[in-house]
Amino acid sequence: MSEKFFKVLLAVDGSLHSEVAVRLAAAITWPTGTTANVLAVVPEQWTGLGLSPEAQSIVDETLERARQLEWAAAERLTQQAANRLRSGSLNAKAEVRKGRPSEVILECAAELPADVIVIGAKGLSALGAFRLGSTAHKLAHYADCSVLVVRPPERAQPLSVLLAADGSREAQQAAELLCALSLPAWAEVVVVSVAEVQAGLANQEPRMVADMPEVVRQALLDAAEARGAEVVERLRGCGAHVQNSIRFGHPAKEILSAAQEHDADLIVVGARGQTREELYRLGGVAQKVVKYADCSVLVVR
């Protein structure tokens, strides 16, 4: 990122994941000059029930009272979150809007324009069976900026950070973002570079790396190590405590496995990798990491 500060959009809804998102946003050491907008969205209520005029009037009055209560609760929620961010020396303001949450958040992010959207992985309406709520899912896919999807349990600050390095532009931007956040000396950063588990021409059957001739397999691992070493050097230049981890396999699976092994609090991944397709705003690896990670995930654009 070219600027030395960020414009952060923190979306809140009062859920457990939202509370953790507020805690994490307040704990991060943002660059001086960073501003934060705390946003709560009150969903629009549909009243087309086909009732008689008298019955519809009663329903409308009831829904209006409920909307006013919900709006007041949203105002309190955003003000409380903004105050917590201000206690961390951030210039923060609160706002409440109505509409479809994902659409309103994307509109607000475009208006700022935001550099990072921070949101809990699941909102109040998300069922326990789902690891990622629909709003967070849409933001990770369609936002023009980076998106930090937060999951509990969460320690006071991200102590263990895992950065996926694949040589892509977004991966390089991810390293720059971590440097801009001035990670504390006690933070552990693991740079994971994955040699693809399969390779081959478009008209050939993919072959497992483990089944390839040793010279080819070693070349792939060497390339992965070189990618990781470049990022490690960049982060060490910013004062971070970094180690390089070279793995081979399916990238998403290996990133998730490494995150578990290192007890990562935060995974940082580029929105799209080296095999990027302009048609897709979120690559397959990033999609799987955001959906299946046990910890928070920062998707960098």
pTM attached to this predicted model: 0.86
Query: Residue holding tokens 């923060």?
Result: 92
Q: Are 161 and 189 in contact (CB under 8 A)?
A: yes
Q: Do domains 1-154 and 155-301 have the same CATH topology?
A: yes
Domain ranges of the chain: 1-154, 155-301
Q: In which region does residue 75 sit, left (phi positive, over 0), alpha (psi from -120 to 50) or beta (all else)?
A: alpha
Q: What's the pLDDT score for residue 280?
A: 55
Instruction: Please give the Cα distance from 50 to 255 (Å, whole number).
Output: 52
- The first and second tokens of residue 221, run together, are 């691992």
pLDDT beneath 70, residues of the chain:
1-4, 45-50, 125-131, 153-158, 185-186, 197-211, 273-281
63-99 confidence digits (pLDDT tens): 788 889 999 999 999 999 999 999 877 999 999 999 9
Task: State in words which class domain 155-301 has.
Answer: alpha beta
Q: What's the pLDDT score for residue 295?
A: 93
- The first and second tokens of residue 109, run together, are 């992010």
- Given the DSSP bridges, would you call strands 146-150 and 160-164 parallel, antiparallel or unpaired? unpaired
Within 8 A by CB and 6+ apart from 236, the residues are 242
Q: In which region does residue 120 sit, left (phi positive, over 0), alpha (psi from -120 to 50) or beta (all else)?
A: beta
CATH T-level assignment (fold) for domain 1-154: Rossmann fold (3.40.50)
